[in-house]
Chains A and B, each alone.
Chain A
Amino acid sequence: MSEKPTIVCRCEEITMEEIQETIEQFHCSSREVKLRTRAGMGSCGGRTCRSVIDRLVEELGGATVSNEVPLSYRPPVRPVSFGVLGGAKE
């Protein structure tokens, strides 16, 4: 790695190196990479980094899950306050 680490998950500030090490150590799926490193668990819900994580898992030979979206999409699409979600009258 160069002196400037490459950030893959901007929300949780997880570097490419951390993700590569996790895949190599545990031979794991994208989902397990997510749970172990928190990459993709930040405020954008992996919308920025998911394809990079999937790609790294594929290249480095982690566990692949056939016929499934490796990392699921979860609502809300954008962060929304509990006030708006809970119908607060303010």
Chain B
Amino acid sequence: MKSYDVIVIGAGVIGSSVAYHLAKKGLEVALIEKGGIASGTSSRCDAVALICDKKPGIDTEIGFASIQLFKQLAKEFSVDFEFASRGSLYVCETEQELDIAKGYVSEQAKDGYDMRMVDRHELQQIEPYLADDLAGGIWTEVDSSMNPYKLCYAFVEEGRKLGLDVYDYHSVQNITLDVQGKVESVVTDRGTFKTKRIVNCAGVWSPKIAEMVGVHIPIKPRKGMVLISEKTPFKVASQKVHEFGYMLSKFEDIQYKRNVSELVEKHNVAFTIEPTDANNFLVGGHRAFKGYNISSEIEVMHAIAERAIRFLPKLKDINCIRAYAGVRPWVEDHLPIVSEVEEVPGFFIASGHEGDGISMAPITGRMVTQLIAGEPTDFNIDKLNFSRYKKADAVS
């Protein structure tokens, strides 16, 4: 039976990064994946690493650190993952949104982040195709983009150079524990692997993996649809552009109601657009709880297009060539879970990043490696500990 220091389950962006970082540390690592590399959420998402969509505090702090790591990886890796720091632009539809945005920006600027307000004239200078009745926006200098599945391929290929073993098309059937309740082996449909440490990076599927050791992870799949434009000579967006109302669709606790159609409201659609290296645009965004269903919904396509042409009227003449959907690993408190599970020694979780998996992949890989190597983590990550749910249960 083959034996490893650590077995990483799930070869999406989090698992690929965790496996790479562990291999770089000199550990013997296996990456086990039920399908191909990046065959789930990481190839059905958008393509950015942002701080502008994070809440002030640790969320922004680790998001910022992750972008710094991206810059370093883009230089080190021989595999290109199309990384670019282009900045990002929030647009505010109304004066009221602009007021909320000002409060948010001053909080982030106080923490030292390069975010600033832009007025309606500057908005037009940055993006001439934007509707001319918008109130203003936020420019975030550090925000970056990349190709998410090429990032997974890059982590895996760089990991392989360091001795990482990849078992794709291996479906995990069971995890066995020894008499003391510690991790002992991973059983797949194509063989069993011995290990004392497992990192569960299965994203929306991580609750199914955790069930095998009797642990309940409160992650729910949150669906998002994206429309793709044809290649067009019109540069309708030079970097990520999204409506500030996006923040409001992401975080349920922000009390603000946009003036939108019933259809847009019903499907929780907020405008976002990103250019890709292939000269298409990705147009979103959408959030809904529909289980694991990733079929395309025509109503949601209508709603996304309706919201998009409100902000970028030029899009009316540009074709949509395709639609896809993915499911994000959502947790109630919008913070990823990065920790060992106390009750099952050797069982680690790195999951629950919702829409921030791409953003947070490098820093998550680094944090897990620090935890496993017994080194101090760069940040105090108590808030990311899985035990927070136990405490919440005890309170309620």
Contacts and interface: CB of A to CB of B under 8 A. Distances in A.
Interface of A: 12, 28-29, 31-32, 35-36, 38, 41-43, 45, 63, 65, 74-76, 79-83, 85-88, 90
Residue of A29, A31, A42, A86 with highest tally of chain B CB at under 10 A: A86
Contacts, number: 90
A82 B39 contact: no
B296 A85 contact: no
B129 to A, nearest CB: 12
Given A82-B308, A86-B309, A90-B316, 18 more contacts: A12-B278, A35-B38, A35-B43, A35-B149, A43-B319, A80-B320, A81-B319, A82-B283, A82-B309, A82-B318, A82-B320, A83-B315, A83-B317, A85-B227, A85-B320, A86-B306, A88-B309, A88-B316
Contact of B169 (A63, A76, A82, A83): A63
B301 A75 contact: yes
B321 interface: yes
11 contacts: A12-B278, A65-B169, A75-B301, A75-B323, A80-B320, A83-B309, A83-B315, A83-B316, A85-B227, A86-B306, A90-B316
Contacts of A63: 36, 168-169
A90 B1 CA distance: 67
A74 B321 CA distance: 9
B128 interface: no
A79 B227 CA distance: 11
- For the complex of A and B, 9 pairs with smallest distance between CB atoms: A83-B316, A86-B305, A85-B305, A79-B319, A86-B306, A82-B315, A86-B309, A82-B305, A43-B321
B302 A76 contact: no
Give the size range of B's interface with the partner: 35 or more
B315 A74 contact: no
Contacts of A43: 230-231, 319, 321
Contacts of B36: 28-29, 31-32, 63, 65
A85 B298 CA distance: 9
A41 B230 CA distance: 10
Contacts of B316: 81-83, 86, 88, 90
Contacts of B230: 43, 79
Nearest to B306: A86
Contacts of B169: 63, 65
B349 interface: no
A58 B147 CA distance: 27
B324 interface: yes
B319 A87 contact: no
A38 B308 contact: no
Contacts of A28: 36
B46 to A, nearest CB: 15
